[in-house]
Amino acid sequence: MAKYKNYVLARSIEEAYELNQKKSSVIVAGNMWLRMCGMNKQTAVDLSLLGLDRIEKTQDGFVVGAMTTLRALETDTALNDAFGSVFARALAPIVGTQFRSTATVGGSVYSRFGFSDVSALLLALDAEVVLHQRGVVKLSEYQLEAWDRDIITHIRIPGGQRASVQSVRVSGTDIPTLVCAAAKSEKGIRIVLGARPARAVIAADGLKLVDAQNIHIIEEIAGRTAFGTNLRAGEAYRRRIAPVLMARAVKGCMECEAKEAAEDEC
Amino acid sequence: MNVEFMLNGRKVSALIEADDSLYTVLRALGMYSVKCGCETTNCGLCTVHMDGKAVLSCSVPAARCAGHEITTLEGMQDEAKLLGSCLAGEGAEQCGFCAPGMMMNVFALAKENPHATDDEIDAFLAGNLCRCSGYVSQRRAVKKYLSIKAGEVCV
């Protein structure tokens, strides 16, 4: 279990940032995985009083506070209306409702968990990370970086996209064996593979619809992606099922788009 | 450090360590319905309500609870009696170890979705593990409880 000497409920993001510059400090978000990592820290810095738990609709999409819980993403009507309920569907298999009522989007993104359904979906949606010191960074870049001492304040999600997430799990509420997220925007189709078991990667970007629906092209993309082995599945298994999930995710985007078009006609 | 919060409608003050979990503090305050099962956020046994939402007390830092409202099964005895009779009536418990956490989550479900379908009940309670019931009888009991609450069935 994680051990702290002091627990500080930060009163401002500046205070939290200053405290977090010491290596002996750690930011506490949802505290789901952090507490299990057995670390000894002098100061735990809590962001829960900073009002970073809101989901706001903007002209370009949505701005989500870093302390927003996964359950809030799952149940937010405006967010799910805008993205064809993809957040509700993609996050529902994560452990249980009580877990999702505490786990935060900022904690998931900062930790760059390989098994994260959240990171895979946000990466497919071309999300941006707002950091207190560095400002706005593309999640696709942030995802590749090493952990630093800056603090995520918000996640920006561009609107006007249709997305779908597909995953394979050993059992219903387990972490995924493989997760695939696809999003369709005006730039084309982006496909992300996560739980490889390494960090999620963009397997394809700007793909034309005709190519995304071609299983040979999908298989070729999966063939170029690196997979690994862990206790949940072997590299060969992941490589085998990846094209299936990718094809289903693309199909899911198209179904979402068709459904919305039909509703618009009504 | 000292932390003050509302526990089952009553203001309490507790002397805590910086790394104490809410679970540890609740047990120290005599809330023995809150039990620790897995301590890895998977089993749902330590479920309590924080400001009306079901959370896992093993993962909530106690220091974060300052000024918040915490409810345990001890604070919901009337509701527990009704749900308990549904569980007993449907043979939905055997050892009863998972019951307090599951019941707290059912109360959260009843508040959020009082007319939940079978699939919605299954999805909502997916984070409450039970090794005795096989879940089918639990689902029946929860449906019965929700129906009574909605006035569709007499007790």
The backbone torsions φ and ψ at residue A86, rounded to the nearest 5 degrees and listed phi first, read -65, -35
Which runs of E-coded beta strand occur in chain B?
Answer: 2-7, 10-15, 47-50, 53-56, 69-71
CA dist A39 and A54 (Å) reads: 30
Q: Which of A3, A7, A97 lies nearest to residue B63, judging by beta carbons?
A: A7
Strand, coil or helix: what is B136? helix
Please name the residue that has the structure tokens 């992606």.
A225
Residues of A in contact with B63 (CB under 8 A): 7, 9, 46
pTM given for the model: 0.94
Same domain (yes/no): A7, A89: no
Hey, what amino acid is at A116? Answer: S
Element holding A89 (H helix, E strand) = helix A86-91
Same domain (yes/no): A63, A148: yes
Mean pLDDT confidence for A203-212: 95
Residues of B in contact with A173 (CB under 8 A): 42, 126-127
Interchain CB contacts (distance < 8 Å): A and B = 78
What percentage of residues in chain B have a pLDDT greater than 90? 90
Residues of A in contact with B127 (CB under 8 A): 95-99, 173
Same domain (yes/no): A214, A127: yes
Same domain (yes/no): A106, A25: no
If you count DSSP H runs as helices and E runs as strands, how many of each does chain B have, helices first?
Answer: 5, 5
CA dist A174 and A196 (Å) reads: 15
**What per-residue confidence (pLDDT) applies to B154?**
65
Give the model's confidence band at A61: pLDDT under 50 very low, under 70 low, under 90 confident, else very high: very high
- pLDDT averaged over 10-residue windows placed end to end, chain B, 155 residues: 96 96 96 92 94 95 96 96 96 93 97 96 95 93 95 71
Q: Which of A5, A44, A98 lies nearest to residue B55, judging by beta carbons?
A: A98
Mean pLDDT confidence for A218-247: 96
Digit-coded pLDDT (tens) for A80-94 = 999 999 999 999 999
Dihedral of alpha carbons A130, A161, A163, A92, sign: positive
Phi-psi region of B5 (alpha: psi -120 to 50; beta: other; left: phi over 0): beta
User: For residue A264, is pLDDT > 80?
Assistant: no
Strand, coil or helix: what is A203? strand
Dihedral of alpha carbons A120, A122, A124, A130, sign: negative
Nearest chain B residue to A41 by CA: give it.
B19
**Residue boundaries of the structural domains of chain B:** 2-74, 76-149
Peptide linkage before A197 cis (omega within 30 of 0): yes
Same domain (yes/no): A35, A109: no
**What per-residue confidence (pLDDT) applies to A163?**
96
Dihedral of alpha carbons A68, A74, A77, A79, sign: positive
Same domain (yes/no): A23, A141: no
Asked if residue A191 lies in contact with residue A200, where contact means CB atoms within 8 angstroms, the answer is no
**What per-residue confidence (pLDDT) applies to A44?**
96
User: CATH homologous superfamily for B2-74?
Assistant: Beta-grasp domain (3.10.20.30)
Dihedral of alpha carbons A136, A90, A180, A252, sign: negative
Mean pLDDT confidence for A214-237: 96
A224: tokens are 């170029």
Taking CA atoms, A153 is separated from A13, A76, A134, in Å, by: 8, 19, 11
Q: Cβ of A97 and B41 within 8 Å? A: no
**What per-residue confidence (pLDDT) applies to B155?**
59
**What per-residue confidence (pLDDT) applies to A258?**
87
CA-closest candidate to residue A174, choices B91, B30, B126, B21: B126
Same domain (yes/no): A122, A250: yes
Same domain (yes/no): A41, A62: no
Hey, what amino acid is at A137? Answer: V
CA dist B19 and A37 (Å) reads: 13
Give the model's confidence band at A2: pLDDT under 50 very low, under 70 low, under 90 confident, else very high: confident
Same domain (yes/no): A33, A116: no
Which fold, B76-149?
Answer: DNA polymerase; domain 1 (1.10.150)
Q: Which of B47, B59, B64 lies nearest to residue A48, judging by beta carbons?
A: B64
What is the complex's ipTM, to 2 decimals? 0.94
What is the domain count for chain A?
2
Digit-coded pLDDT (tens) for A237-263 = 999 999 999 999 999 999 988 888 888
Domain that holds residue A86: 55-265
Q: Cβ of B105 and A95 within 8 Å? A: no
The backbone torsions φ and ψ at residue A140, rounded to the nearest 5 degrees and listed phi first, read -60, -30
